[in-house]
A and B are shown apart, each in its own frame.
Chain A
């Protein structure tokens, strides 16, 4: 098993797993407690337009995803709050609009898009070095932003109206949070792909909520869960020769199911005894 660690692609995969777990542990906690899973899924899917744009312009698709996901976060955040259409309809429209743009861009690109599937379903075993650097920079941005704005974010997620009354520019802060979610999505795309991103944003955070009543601790536990589970997933996918992204999600879901079930049983026993 240890000779595996000598391979560069395995090393890269492990580093990518850790970087992704840090991002999704911190931001996933906000996504779960603020109940913005659907809008996060929308941003993730819409950013497929960026993948297509990258192919069309002949640049690294990750560089297409970065601005595209930020843009879709801003548009979604603004439209869902300001327009008269209900928020979930607005998200649904922009979600599919982004994907459709991506499909058209890929179609217009001459030749064959070689690793298109990587962006949809992820392949952590093929993460190039440049993408790792990009992930590292984004992780640093995320950690700094959350460190600086922690008290505002906490209050925003708990009670947006009261936070406004306290003089915090909540509309801008919410858009800022969505932008950080967009950045997190960029980090996660290589690991599990656009389609499965939402699982990494929600499962570790929901799981960690079962072990603590504190948002900060939730983030740390979530990072730990994410790291252990994605490394396990990488190992399994290598051993069984199955896709890595989907394997990670399956392990996550399995662990979540077992923990939730186990805790329910413990809880009902305590009730019976008490």
Chain B
């Protein structure tokens, strides 16, 4: 069985600034939810772009399912941050989700019956099939988020990448999102990056901290030193209803 992700000494720079430094990560498990937390500007989006092959690291190697990212497009689903989108765009939910099939359909071809079936299934998974003819501007924030997840699922991915999927959602919608991811993680590997510590909820199986460097522990528990190194300030974890997540108080600052 190939590793889902294999990063070896990956460095990314913009000009003189180092965004990612010596990142090593080996993700073997084909299922489960990996939460990557870190402060804003810590390189989380950059990290995802490296995995997607949108950004070439100047040093190091990136492999998904044993192949470079450009060769594994049809195995990866991507849910971008949807802040900058133009929701007035004349496109329906159905058309959006179909675009997630392009890596299968190929150039110059119309979407096949198989493509349409995959899109329908993806929409049913996120319970949005009834609204498939809506223009995307006519949806609530939570519904839009589910449409973008459906677009990623239409690819039939083995790896699902989500960039701050919880931002802009109220607590109730966030909870729905996590329950959806909780179902999906049994069928594929899911990676979610977020700056919101409270988002690291019961559903996450593994956690990594990212702030230029990556601390990965292959477990739910993060040593407080790692969190503090990531956020560069004392951190006290408050996790509602998940007492086992509260690890230890940070030492009284002396």
> A residues within 8 Å of B by Cβ?
33, 35, 148-149, 151-152, 154-155, 157-159, 161-168, 209, 212-215, 218
A33-B89, A152-B102, A162-B78 known, 11 other contacts, Cβ within 8 Å: A151-B105, A154-B99, A157-B89, A163-B99, A163-B102, A165-B54, A165-B73, A165-B78, A166-B99, A213-B91, A214-B92
- The CA-CA distance from A209 to B96 in the complex, in Å, is 18
B135 touches A (CB below 8 Å)? yes
Chain B residue contacts of A161, Cβ below 8 A: 54, 80
A161 to chain B, nearest CB (A): 6
Q: Which residues of B are found within 8 Å of A209, using beta-carbon distances?
A: 90
Give 10 nearest A-B pairs by CB, closest first. A213-B135, A166-B102, A155-B99, A167-B73, A166-B103, A167-B103, A215-B90, A165-B78, A213-B90, A165-B52
In whole angstroms, what is the CA distance A155 to B53 when docked? 18
Tell me the nearest residue of chain A to B99, going by C-beta.
A155
Contact status A158-B102, CB under 8 Å = no
- Bound complex: CA A168 to CA B105 (Å): 11
Inter-chain CA distance A142–B121, complex, in Å, is 35
Q: Are B111 and A151 in contact (CB under 8 A)?
A: yes
Q: Which of B74, B100, B107 has the most CB of A within 10 A?
A: B107
- Please, how many residues of chain B have a CB less than 8 angstroms from a CB on the other chain? 30
* A165 and B76 in contact, given A154-B95, A155-B99, A158-B91 (Cβ under 8 angstroms): yes
Q: Is the CB of A168 within 8 A of B108?
A: no
Chain B, 120-155, contact with A by CB distance < 8 Å: what is the 0/1 string?
000000000000000100000000000000010001
Residue of B nearest to A173 (CB): B107
In the assembled complex, the Cα of A35 lies from the Cα of B95 at a distance in Å of 20
Interface assignment of B110: CB less than 8 Å from any CB of chain A: yes
CA distance A9 to B241 in the complex (A): 80
Ordered by A's residue number, 27 sampled pairs between the chains whose C-beta atoms are within 8 Å are A33-B86, A149-B108, A151-B102, A151-B110, A151-B111, A152-B102, A152-B107, A155-B99, A157-B89, A158-B89, A158-B91, A158-B99, A159-B85, A161-B80, A162-B78, A162-B80, A164-B54, A165-B73, A165-B78, A166-B99, A166-B155, A167-B73, A209-B90, A213-B92, A213-B135, A214-B90, A214-B92
- A74: shortest Cβ distance to chain B, in Å? 21
Docked complex Cα distance between A154 and B100 (Å): 12
The interface residues of chain B lying within 8 Å CB-to-CB of A148 are 108
Which residue in chain B gives the minimum CB-CB distance to A156?
Answer: B99
CB distance from B9 to the nearest CB of A (A): 24
* Complex contacts, B76 vs chain A, CB 8 Å: 165
- B100 contact set on A, CB distance < 8 A: 162, 166
Query: Cβ of A168 and Cβ of B90 under 8 Å apart?
Result: no
Count chain A CB atoms within 10 A of each CB in B52, B74, B91 and give the residue with the most.
Answer: B91
Assess the B99–A151 pair: CB atoms within 8 A: yes
A158 contacts across to B, CB distance below 8 A: 89, 91, 96, 99
Which residues of B have CB within 8 Å of A159?
80, 85, 99
A159 to B151, CA, bound (A): 12
Distance of A71 from chain B, by nearest CB (Å)? 26
Collect the chain B residues with CB atoms within 8 Å of residue A163's CB: 99, 102
Q: How far is the CA of A218 from the CA of B96 in the complex (A)?
A: 17
A110 to B250, CA, bound (A): 84
Contact indicator B151/A162 (Cβ below 8 Å): yes
Rounded to whole angstroms, the CA-CA distance of A165 and B48 in the bound complex is: 11
- Which A residues are CB-close (under 8 A) to B98? 151
